[in-house]
Structure 1
Amino acid sequence: MKVLIAVDSFKGSLTSIECSEAIKEGIQAVSKNAEILSVPLADGGEGTVEALVHSTRGIFVEKEVTGPLGAKVHATYGILGTGHTAVIEVAAACGLPLVPEGERNPSITTTYGVGELILDAINRGCRDFVIGLGGSATNDAGVGMLQALGFSFQNKQQKEIGCGGGELTKIRTINTSRAHPALRECTFKVACDVNNPLHGLNGAAYIFGPQKGATSEMIKSLDQGLMHFAELVSSVLIKNIQQIEGAGAAGGLGAAFAGFLNGQLLSGIDLILNTLGMEAKIESVNIVITGEGKLDGQTSLGKAPLGVARLAAKRGIPVIALAGGVTKQASTLNELGITSYFSIVNEPMSLGEAMDPKVAYDNLKMTTAQLFRLIFAMKK
């Protein structure tokens, strides 16, 4: 029997790699002869770099960059095993956890460090990029990132604007002539699972600003800055970045990638599965094990387990999903390719106990072993 393990992380408890190892040990406790292929997963958010680097036997690169508040931070990105594709989570350089709660202010936070990571990868020979959006502390429409890449945004005094979303209304001219020349050779595939426009009541400031520390007055000001920026880009570059689905993702980074770097904004899990060549990997297996920390209604909206299940369903391959928690809404997954799903929590315990890494690891291993005892018994 050939088994494919393709599991997302159990966030706050186990990484995708640790989950895969626990499941593998559970299978091997029942059968030493099972052929097991482990492909750690992510959906374009947290854990994307680790999953893709591990699955492609790539390398991690640590780089000191400008953090969201302007101070230097150490950020890690990956270069895939092919050697020419870099994978970057923007949160590594401008993520909310990098800003102390009392200092969160999207009027001043910058995406400059994201551009520095891209430059470092370009200098290492990378020309293809996989970008994970999400978790940013910023609302600068990606202007900071673009400045790091050589784009210029000047005020009426013909001086470069400063950092943060509060500076967008000051922009009077946009100069693209000094952008890094290698950008013309680069492709950017961007994992983006929201469709918010850049500005407006459903835009970056109003929807995501509050969690980044924006007050109600600040939100209005930030939204005006995004609208001004979109109008200027429309008149100068003849590009309507406002109407791009996902333009408002990560404080407007979606607009920057699509409007200035010709990036493709794609479903996170579809992008990751394609990058991993998952369709080819799944062809010859007998059963697939997938899962994540919690299976619920959100899982059916494009998360990792469903993406894997859809590929398996094309070939009639059964799929078992394992999770720490399973809600009633997860029942819809049976209609979408997941054959059966199970919680790994086998006795009453608090959420804290269930999420303890050792407890979760042991529960995942034990549940897998019991399932495969049944599977192998039925094959006799």
Structure 2
Amino acid sequence: YINLYGEDITQRRKTEKEVAWVARDLRQVIETVNAPIIGVDVKGLLNEWNQKAADITGYSRDEVLGRNLIEDFIGDDYKALLQEVSDKTLKGEETASVEFSLYTKDGQQVTILFNATARRDASGNIIGVFGIGQDISERKRIEQMKSDFVSLTSHELRTPLTSIRGYVDLILDGDAGGISKEQREFLGIVSQNTQRLETLINDVLDIEKIESGRIKMRQEKVNFSEIVEDCVNTFKVMAKSKGLKLEKEIKATQIDVLGDSDRLSQVFSNLLSDAIKYTKEGRVKVTVQVKGKFVSVTVEDTGIGMSQEDLSRIFTGFFRSDNSYVRKTTGTGLGLSIAKATIEKHNGDIRVESKLGVGTKFEVILPLLKEAKKVD
């Protein structure tokens, strides 16, 4: 006798066919998507290189597969960074966007913004790194042009302004002989507006450095209470001239943080200046206190306040409210955007709450020294 055994594999064949179709469709998407897709195995050897990556670099898929991505194609300034990202991704850690330069076949470099993720097999084991990128070379070129233009223009404006202000001050001091009351008034207006233009130039330079990542922040132990107290003392005269009460409540004389004392002073000078400037009557109060692992500083006023629409845009560069009182005062609209960027560079946060016609309250939160060192 002959026994025959069979198995109906119709469903399995159907499933295999569907998987093949999905794989083909996925390959087609990878090859036609308008973004470079790059993949490496656990040794860092390239095993994925789509058509867009080939178009950007000039290297075909066959020319790169099996070669080491970092050693053969990444700019020297980015090798260590990309190796760190690769190591973390292979451990299953989430990785945010990373920027690096990629060599092209003709020896040039293109800048790629890349999102990496772990590549896994059917059992869930990590077998490599896979990601999709974006060619941002043109954007970086435009950013550099803007940066160069701002720096050059600001320098060319600052030089004659310094000369104008210097000679105006000499005339006001009587070094060029006596001047009439009317002449003194006119020269005072020139001097005041020269200072305003100098402030605008300095603010524009600061915001450009922050946006381009070129701003340097010192990392040193500073007494935060002392910084705030010095700023409050500086603005006592300004507050008194408007008939305002300037109150302070510093709950500890020594609160140490890690940061740049000059930049932090600039932040609180901006906050105090605005609070006094936009308060017609009442008071401005500054409170410093420790909250757990952080120090909190609030600057609260009884000023004109802000609408919800203005609140949503308050940290935007060059933003100034349409409020008639605001329009009557001088300002660049850059102070708060600089303050926010500076505090974030210190691993802190700045918050605001306000009610139109009632007042505004800003709060700055920074990690205490020991916590800041951990973050650093």
User: What is the TM-score when the length of structure 1 is the normalising length?
Assistant: 0.23
User: What is the TM-score when the length of structure 2 is the normalising length?
Assistant: 0.23
Specify which structure has the bigger relative contact order, considering alpha-carbon pairs within 8 angstroms and separated by 6 or more residues. Answer: 1
In our comparison, the structure showing a higher alpha carbon Rg is: 2
